[in-house]
Amino acid sequence: MDEKTDPRHQSRRIALSVLYQRAFEKQHKTDSAEISPETVAEQLGIDADEYDEGMVESIVDGVYRNMKLLDERISKYAPKWPIHKIPILDLQILRIGIYEGFVAKSVPPRVAINEAIELAKEYGSENTPAFVNGVLGAIYDDEKQKRDEKND
């Protein structure tokens, strides 16, 4: 099964789109109807049996519940990029990667990083994959170093 048909990847695509649309509306002070995962899936051409609705909700809710922590991590590991200067899409990809791999630990960190890079390649600019990899890789290295020191 490739990533285009993987229900987990499809769920991340939908979560990214929901988070992006909500952040875009907030930044531009527009107020449209609530963006539902079902509507986004339909817009992306993803059938209901091709994604995990619970996973989408878990990612979206988890990112919102942990927004302050996620943004603190991003600020720490991308100090030259204040949160308000990071493109909305890149920011949402980073939030999902950090949430899944380092906060919820719902997937191993390397899986979260790889998935975030795939989203960055699929939706971001030419520089987005390298930026996402750099930030998430720095978090991974720091976490690994802390684990290694703890185990010494």
- Residue 15 in 3-state DSSP? helix
Q: Answer yes or no: CATH 3.30.420.40 is held by domain 7-151.
A: no
Query: Does an H or E element contain 72, and which?
Result: helix 67-77
Question: Each residue of 4-57: pLDDT tens digit?
Answer: 579 999 999 999 999 999 888 877 666 655 678 888 888 889 998 999 999 999
For the chain, the 3-state helix, strand and coil shares in percent, each to the nearest 5, are: 75, 0, 25
- Tens digit of each residue's pLDDT (9 = 90 or more) over 73-107: 999 999 999 999 999 999 999 999 999 999 999 99
